[in-house]
Amino acid sequence: MNKLKKGCLIVFSGPSGAGKDTILNKIMGEKENLKLSVSHTTRPPREGEINGKSYYFVSRQEFIKMAENGEMLEYATYCGNYYGTSAVKVQDELEKGNDVILEIEVQGAEQVMKKVPEALSIFILPPSLSELKKRLKNRGADSDEVINRRVKEAEKEIALAHNYDYVIINDDIEKSAKKVLKIIELQEMKSQNMKHIIDEVLSSEKNIG
């Protein structure tokens, strides 16, 4: 039945350090037909990040050209770098019946939720601001100055959490991953995704045997 219907677009956001990556690492591969969209970015790769897997790493010039050509479903600047999602790639996966997760910054998430109101949106919340700061420090990727800026941005982002369908407080990775999977599974039962089944029942034979 899944093959007949288009997949579901899933907006997955939350402040840097909330644990989005770790949760997605747990759930990817756990569910058939669930694909992670790979974003484009102009920020330099961190150690261990692979082009085409973590991100498509592109130059500022290339990125701006894509955006100007209308090829981006969303894009945003964050701490001085561009991040964006290619609309064509997402559309391809949805047409195949795959559910597609967009792991994106809050600015980009707002754009997608406006453009695609039927998208499922999930916000990952850190248990507290001090815990967020601790996680960013432990990651060791950023200077104190950048961390303080990220925490400040996080406050603004968390204030927008009520715009999402679901909010998960990430105080336990295993539990949070399970919650995300359950939310995605339940999408199949949302009435807008059951239309073809409702029609099937209504057109079924009324007589017994």
Interaction mask 18-57, a copy of itself, x per CB under 8 A: ----------------------------------------
Q: Is 143 in the site for a copy of itself (CB under 8 A)?
A: no
166 binds a copy of itself (CB under 8 A): yes
Binding of residue 137 to a copy of itself (CB under 8 A): yes
Rounded to whole angstroms, the Cα distance separating 146 from 39 reads 22
Specify which residues 51 forms β-bridges with. Answer: 55
H or E element that contains 95: helix 87-95
Contact segment (CB under 8 A) with a copy of itself among 36-44, 76-84, 87-95, 196-204 equals 196-204
Q: How many residues in total does the chain contain?
A: 209
Minimal distance, residue 47 CB to a copy of itself, in Å: 24
Report the nearest approach of a copy of itself to the CB of residue 135 (Å). 10
Token readout for 83 is 């991040």
Q: Is residue 42 within 8 Å of residue 136, measured between CB atoms?
A: no
The whole-angstrom separation of Cα 105 and Cα 84 is: 9
The whole-angstrom separation of Cα 26 and Cα 181 is: 10
For the segment 105-124, give every residue that binds a copy of itself (CB under 8 A).
Answer: 123
| 60 token code pair | 């500022």
Summarize as ranges the residues that interact with a copy of itself (CB under 8 A): 123, 125-130, 133-134, 137, 151, 155, 158-159, 161-169, 179, 182-183, 185-186, 189-192, 194-195, 197-198, 201-202, 204-209
